[in-house]
Amino acid sequence: MTQLTIPEMGSNSEAELIEILVAEGETIKFDQSTLVLESEKSTIEVPANHAGTISKLLVKVGDKFSGGEAYAEIDVASEAAEPSEIAASVEPAEEAIVQATSTAEANVEVSAQVAEPERTITAPVPADRAESGVYAGPAVRLLARELGVTLNEVTGSGLKGRIQKEDVQNFVKQRMQGGVSSGAGIPTVVSIDFSQFGPVHQQALNNIKRATAKAMTIANLNVPQVTQFDEADITALEAFRQQQNQEWASQGMKFSLVPFVMKALAHNLRQFPTFNSSINAQNDGLIMKDYVHIGVAVDTPKGLLVPVIRDVDKKSITQIRQELQDKAELARQGRLSLEEMQGASMSVSSLGGIGGLAFTPIVNPPEVAILGVSKAKMQPVWQDSEFVARLMLPLSLSYDHRVIDGAEAARFSQALVRKLQDLRQLLM
Ligand code: CAO
């Protein structure tokens, strides 16, 4: 047990505690911001001078400090990472790449910030401690206080969820307009000391998993989504695929179902342009896209990545197959560029190679729909006056209900089914 202390602040300085960023029972890292103090001149984030679990907070908002005072008791973690290890574990470039899977707009911002990190925090703060409470610089905190905004309610758009001035301004604007603020007022999950129930150990999330977690949370909070289930009789498509596999075998080429689904989906996106749109920044119109790029979720050892195959509507299934194979391989090797994960019209998530009946994929904004593909199975299907064995492919279409109505989604799904059942539809 030891104590966390306020750093020396120079003679005649006094600062008031305006925010406590940690809680009793919380496990914190060395250098993690714990308190926010406000002096006459500036706002200061106080970094923890030890890592470990906070057993007792000794202060309350409004207390005044001149430096050197103890403010918490902490059970020091014996395995606490050294500051140099913390810094070494951060791979901002990789995170920037992953965040590219969520929004093209965010990518631009994230990559810009990686190139030139913001430096507004007066105390040293490790770059990977965004999870612990609010992550914002003094100027942003001051602005929030002036505008009466609780920073916990603001979703940060900066690197690792850092709250920017614009986020505070947009929050106020949305409130004034009576708009919906993502995550506003949503209570956070309580942090529990699981060691009280049995032995536990920590496992760090890598940058890809952290970025995916953030993107999925944003998606789920912002997009009212519905999933439409369907199934396509792909008996004929499967026979064609097997035949193609035999014909191309001498060249070492093999076709999986996914390129066929992508081609049919691209055709559908031309037929139903609303699915190839995004909501504009003012939430009062749609940006219609004249290109058809399709993202494909790839399961990699480090986590989910979504490379984008461009102009799928203009490419042959052979080309799409080759590009998908190349991009999936790059993804698994962690060598995809930022550009290769940007700009999808819509995404496909195929779990057909693994199994399962159906699932509800999460729309990845600013896209407005995503297609889930599950494992095809032989099933008895009633035809005329008898059951016949047919290969049925389960499809799960999740869509943003702000943009797409249920009837439109059902029509989209049925049109896709018809295309997969009879590829000649793609010629029309
Ligand atoms: N029904 C039945 N069999 C299927 C199928 C389906 N819908 N989809 C694929 N298969 C078969 C393939 O034909 C292949 O079998 P053969 O070797 O006998 O031909 C086998 O399953 C392996 O397929 P695969 O999934 O490895 O390859 P793919 O080209 O079908 O898919 C890719 C490529 C990149 C989509 C896939 O490798 C992948 O990463 N899938 C996971 C995506 C994911 O994680 N989604 C969840 C995102 S949300 O967390």
pLDDT of 245-298, one tens digit each?
999 999 999 999 999 999 999 999 999 999 999 999 998 999 999 999 999 999
Instruction: List the residue whose alpha carbon is closest to atom 34 of ligand 1.
Output: 298
Chain centroid to CA 172:
24
Residue-wise pLDDT tens digits, 372-407: 999 999 999 999 999 999 999 999 999 999 999 999
Rounded average pLDDT over 30-54? 83
Centre of ligand 1 from the C-alpha of residue 310, in Å? 20
Q: Is the pLDDT of residue 97 over 60?
A: no
Q: What percent of the chain has pLDDT over 90?
A: 60
Q: DSSP string covering 1-19, please?
A: -EEEEPPP--TT--EEEEE
Give 13 or 73, the one with higher predicted confidence.
73
Centre of ligand 1 from the C-alpha of residue 205, in Å? 25
Give 78 or 365, the one with higher predicted confidence.
365
* Count of Cβ atoms closer than 10 Å to residue 14 Cβ: 12
Centre of ligand 1 from the C-alpha of residue 148, in Å? 50
* Whole-number average pLDDT of the chain: 83
- The reported pLDDT for the residue numbered 124 is 30
Which residue in this structure is represented by tokens 């997009």?
Answer: 223
Give 68 or 308, the one with higher predicted confidence.
308
Centre of ligand 1 from the C-alpha of residue 339, in Å? 24
Rounded average pLDDT over 303-330? 97
Please measure the distance between the N-terminal and C-terminal CA atoms of the chain and give it in whole angstroms. 74
Pocket test for ligand 1, best of 324, 350, 395 (most atoms within 8 A of CB): 350
* Count of Cβ atoms closer than 10 Å to residue 135 Cβ: 23
- The reported pLDDT for the residue numbered 387 is 98
Pocket test for ligand 1, best of 237, 243, 253, 257 (most atoms within 8 A of CB): 257
Q: Does residue 401 have an active-site annotation? A: yes
**How far is the C-alpha of 173 from the C-alpha of 184, rounded, in Å?**
13
Which residue in this structure is represented by tokens 């008031």?
Answer: 16
Residue-wise pLDDT tens digits, 180-218: 444 456 777 888 899 999 999 999 999 899 999 999 999
Q: Kindly indicate the confidence band of residue 30, based on its pLDDT and cuts at 50, 70 and 90.
A: confident
Q: Is the pLDDT of residue 18 over 80?
A: yes
Q: Kindly indicate the confidence band of residue 56, based on its pLDDT and cuts at 50, 70 and 90.
A: very high
- The reported pLDDT for the residue numbered 1 is 83
Instruction: List the residue whose alpha carbon is closest to atom 23 of ligand 1.
Output: 353
Q: Is the pLDDT of residue 69 over 80?
A: yes
- The reported pLDDT for the residue numbered 280 is 94
Q: Is the pLDDT of residue 134 over 80?
A: no
- The reported pLDDT for the residue numbered 58 is 96
Backbone angles phi, psi at 157, to 5 degrees: -100, 0
- The reported pLDDT for the residue numbered 218 is 93
At 231, is the secondary structure helix, strand, or coil?
strand
| Catalytic residue chosen out of the listed positions 50, 267, 293, 401 | 401
Atom of ligand 1 nearest to the CA of 324: 34
**How far is the C-alpha of 417 from the C-alpha of 223, rounded, in Å?**
25
Task: Please give the radius of gyration of the chain, using alpha carbons only, rounded to the nearest integer.
Answer: 26
Centre of ligand 1 from the C-alpha of residue 384, in Å? 33
Rounded average pLDDT over 317-344? 95
Q: Is the pLDDT of residue 103 over 70?
A: no
- The reported pLDDT for the residue numbered 396 is 98
At 237, is the secondary structure helix, strand, or coil?
helix
Look at residues 94, 31, 19 and name the one whose alpha carbon lies nearest to residue 59.
Answer: 19
3-state helix, strand, coil in the chain (%, to 5): 35, 25, 40
Instruction: List the residue whose alpha carbon is closest to atom 49 of ligand 1.
Output: 304
Instruction: List the residue whose alpha carbon is closest to atom 8 of ligand 1.
Output: 352
Contact in structure between 371 and 265 (CB atoms under 8 Å): yes
Atom of ligand 1 nearest to the CA of 245: 19
Contact in structure between 56 and 24 (CB atoms under 8 Å): yes
Q: Is the pLDDT of residue 122 over 50?
A: no
Contact in structure between 52 and 74 (CB atoms under 8 Å): yes
Using CB distances shorter than 6 Å, the residues near ligand 1 are 256-258, 296-299, 304, 328, 349-353, 373, 375-376, 393
Centre of ligand 1 from the C-alpha of residue 271, in Å? 26
Q: Is the pLDDT of residue 73 over 90?
A: yes
**How far is the C-alpha of 21 from the C-alpha of 45, rounded, in Å?**
9
Q: Is the pLDDT of residue 42 over 70?
A: no
Give 123 or 193, the one with higher predicted confidence.
193
User: Which tokens go with 171?
Assistant: 């929050």
Give this prediction's pTM: 0.65
Contact in structure between 160 and 128 (CB atoms under 8 Å): yes
Q: Is the pLDDT of residue 130 over 50?
A: no
Which residue in this structure is represented by tokens 């986590």?
Answer: 303
Give 223 or 92, the one with higher predicted confidence.
223
